[in-house]
Amino acid sequence: MEGRRLRRFGRRRQPPSSSLLPVVIGGETASSDIANTVSCFYCDFKIRILNEALYRFGRRHATWLRVWFSIGVGFSLSLVLGVSFLLLWSLLLHRNSIFSSGFWFGFGSSTSVSLAGAFNILLSTLISVSLHEFGHAIAAASEGIRVEYIAVFIAVLFPGALVAFNHDFLEALPRLAALRVYCAGIWHNAACCAVCGLTLLLMPLIFSPFYIHGEGLMVLDVPSTSPLSSYLSPGDVIVSLDGIHIHDEQEWLEMVNLLDKQTLQGPNYSEYKGLEAVDGRKGYCVPNSMIEESKKIQLVVNQAACPDDFSAFATVHCFNTSMSSNVRSDDGQPDKRESRYCLNAKDIVKLKKCGNGWVTPLNNESSCICSKDGSCLSPVQLPGLIWVEITYSRPYSLECLQHQSNLTSDLSINNIMEDYCGGTFVFVGDVISMAHSLRLTAYRPHSSSAFGAILPNALERSLMCTFYVSLALALLNSLPVYFLDGESILEVALCIFTFSSKRKKVTQKHAEFW
């Protein structure tokens, strides 16, 4: 997280010799004699090149900066109190698991981070820490205090950052002015979160002249280990999942989770707005002629498996007496035995759907009623495996672009999009691992460009990462813990509200770790 710097009010003392962090006492000339520190438990790198620029900026805009940081005082005090009460409540609620890594860090030892993810975290941390420390420096400059130095350090094994001020000048500040300095870092992190969040909301509008947003998910990368590597390639667009149109990554993950829960548990799910999943099986209305043709294909193994490129299907029997399968025995009664047929999935997905196992819009009820010349058949699935239809398009493929140039009507557009610019395939397996094996984005460039496709996704991920890191930094420094901002904020606030005199303080700097 990062480190801090400040120092406090009260009687001057000689710096304690056992101090872990460096101390600064004396006049402005002391800064020129301060060297980088290296020891067994602490080392730092001090930066002084920005001192004069930060001071001039703070003094030039002192009036507006004091107003800005005064607003931050109210926000930071509220956050410190809220985090303190939340921490106490969490400790009481989870007092039996406070020593587990999951309680403190939110993840286990199996958590992995990709190289791109690690770079985003590093970049976001640098941005968040810089804004935090510059907030303290500018707030102090607006009160007339010069920065001694800015330092990045490692204390034991923990990295951090700090801004050092002259102790004599800092202790002479009024308590409200000192509170503005202490709260500046948290306030700047909160402002960073607001800017990142607003930018994320406006990104579709900002990129609208160059990108299409919310009309399917564009595939950026398909690793060779992905179960969809033989079906999709970079530049393809996922249009729908089981007939439900997908607009962004959130809908993609929600739909996948719904399908997974439906298979494992089978109850109705109403928490997904506009969707309904009912107990039952997914089926297709297969013409009797196709069923007769399938009888020529011999089942292999124990009468359960089909040859390559074929899938096993079984008759869906309706539980409602008004719904009946068209498959009957020789005596004219419904056949309760599950007859199995080998059919080509590529042909089946083009047929009308039946059965009550589909995730469908609430106003579109499904049933297992088919026409008289067909039967409702369902794919035979192994436990834990899910049958999912994935519809995709290839708008940037050469074949699609060539045929689009010869369009003459809206009808021909639909035909070309179906025949040359995409299609539908069936995935059978673990949908959770399948969904996370792809790198997707909701932004699709108007023209085919590899860099253009990656740019919005990279910016979106960087903004999200910066938002979360800055939020974590603000929350962490709100804790009333020694070496963090929260302790100083709470202490000075108590002095203000209780009208108590300034307490004696040591000149040791505080540090926030990241």
Residue 279 pLDDT greater than 80, yes or no: no
The secondary structure element, H or E, covering residue 424 is strand 422-429
Q: At what angle do helices 485-498 and 62-93 cross, to 10 degrees?
A: 100
Cβ neighbour number for residue 350 with a 10 Å cutoff = 10
User: Which pLDDT tens digit goes with each residue over 411-470?
Assistant: 444 444 555 678 888 888 888 889 999 999 999 888 766 567 788 989 999 999 999 999
More confidently predicted of 374 and 38: 374
User: Which pLDDT tens digit goes with each residue over 475-490?
Assistant: 999 988 877 888 888 8
* DSSP assigned state of 224: T
**pLDDT band at 111; cut points 50, 70, 90:** low
The mean pLDDT of 140-146, rounded to a whole number, is 91
More confidently predicted of 1 and 79: 79
pLDDT for 3? 44
Evaluate whether 234 touches 246 at the Cβ level (below 8 Å).
Answer: no
pTM over 0.85: no
**pLDDT band at 93; cut points 50, 70, 90:** confident
Given 133, 171, 389, 460, the catalytic residue: 133
- Smallest CA-to-CA distance from 339 within 282, 291, 289, 388 is with 291
Specify which of 13-27, 58-72, 316-330 reaches the highest per-range mean pLDDT: 58-72
Cβ neighbour number for residue 218 with a 10 Å cutoff = 25
> pLDDT over 70 for what percent of the chain?
70
Residue 235 pLDDT greater than 80, yes or no: yes
Active site residue 254: no
Residue 89 pLDDT greater than 80, yes or no: yes
Across the chain, mean pLDDT equals 75
pLDDT for 475? 92
Evaluate whether 231 touches 438 at the Cβ level (below 8 Å).
Answer: no
Angstrom distances, CA of residue 437 to CA of 112, 223, 242, 262: 14, 7, 18, 21
**pLDDT band at 507; cut points 50, 70, 90:** very low
Residue recorded with tokens 């700090």: 162
The mean pLDDT of 257-261, rounded to a whole number, is 85
Angstrom distances, CA of residue 482 to CA of 184, 245, 490, 511: 18, 52, 11, 9
pLDDT for 102? 52
Domain boundaries, the chain: 28-203+461-513, 211-445
Angstrom distances, CA of residue 446 to CA of 175, 209, 213, 235, 457: 57, 9, 10, 12, 15
The mean pLDDT of 97-103, rounded to a whole number, is 53
